Amino acid sequence: MKLHEYQAKELLAKLGVPVPRSGGAVDDPCHAFEAALSLGGKAVLKAQVHTGGRGKAGGIRLVASPEEAEKTAAAMLGMVLRTHQAPQGLRVDRLLVEEPISVESELYVAFVPDRSSQKHILILSPMGGMDIETVAEEHPEAVAREAIEPGLGLRPFQIRRACYRSGVPRELVGALAQAVQRLYDAYIALDADLLEINPLAVVSGSSLVAADTKLTIDDNALYRHPELASYRTAAAEDPIEAEAQRRGIQYVRLDGHIGVMGNGAGLVMATLDEVARAGGRAANFLDVGGGAKAEVVRSCLQLVMMNNAVRGVLINIFGGITRCDEVARGVLEAISGMSLSTPIVVRLAGTRAADGARILADSPLIPASTMQEAAARIVALAAQ
């Protein structure tokens, strides 16, 4: 579950992490006036959307008075913010109103899980305020990583070692070590799978403030955090992904034009690769799961077709637990209520594949015998 910046800062503040003084999150220009007034007049208005690069796209603005805050909020609310991470654009429905801070320098701190080592990783750099990927590419010596033993947790010597390796100024090491330890404790307490502070701002000598925050909570741990239920809002998520979650379907929206359905994450990933190899780009990842019944397949196809960018659909099913005849019935039921203008290529293999092929024989669906053939055909049809 991705949290908005204002939500993440609320949680971090409760756990002892210093954050800028806040006037709250607002969805109305009048409330922006009141929030700025509560902060003394001057304020920063920050669009609450899940993307980086907000400042360059006009999503972060400094105002000098409550009146300017109201006027600026009226211009920002409802705008579509386009960044390099979200070229399709994200609508701004809420703004965080914060007190401006005087930044002397900027640091970068993040915690993420590493599947290969099965450990959490501390990433630290004295070059905050930039994309960490850019820093790692252009200044690799300025990025330090520390693998954290699960049974021991983050040890003080690891923080100091990361500071020295990355080139953090000596006068900041003491304060930074305390801040990083608090952030790690918050990361663990919240069952997060991403905590990124960029920048961790240096203010007033060696004081540190989390100026910008990204926080993602592991969905599988949400049962331990009922207090976070109110933080999930459909408007904060991709609407199709939100609908998929309500239906209990594994769906991730991508930026292509070929809708993809398959059973099993590995098969779906392989299908995405074949679509790319054939010259297309997948519009989504969708795993119908094992033993998918007709009604589940129908629901999955409806989700794929909700994306207006989809110009063709590839259904790739290998029947093990899943029965291909059930899949075939589900697809036919799904298209029966549609005015079908989008080509759909279906590849069935495995359990009752012959029965599935017979069910689809007189339908407008296009059969394929192999995954490679299916990918090539749908890419060609979608280009017409």
Q: Which residues are catalytic?
A: 108, 196
- Do residues 36 and 43 touch, judged by C-beta distance below 8 A? yes
- Exposed e or buried b per residue across 61-83, where buried means at least 16 C-beta atoms within 10 angstroms of its C-beta: bebeebebbbebbeebbebebbb
Q: Each residue of 196-222: b (16+ CB within 10 Å) or e?
A: bbbbbbbbeeeebbbbbbbbbbeeeee
Q: How many helices (H) and strands (E) does the chain have?
A: 12, 19
The continuous run of DSSP H or E covering 315 comes out as: strand 312-319
Tokens read off for 152: 């021991």
Q: How far apart are CA 330 and CA 297, in angstroms?
A: 5
- Backbone φ, ψ for residue 271 (5° rounding): -65, -40
Beta bridge partner(s), residue 122: 111, 146
Rg of the chain, C-alpha, whole Å: 25
| Amino acid at position 19, single letter | V
Q: Which amino acid is at 74?
A: A
> 280's torsion region: left (phi>0), alpha (psi -120 to 50) or beta?
beta
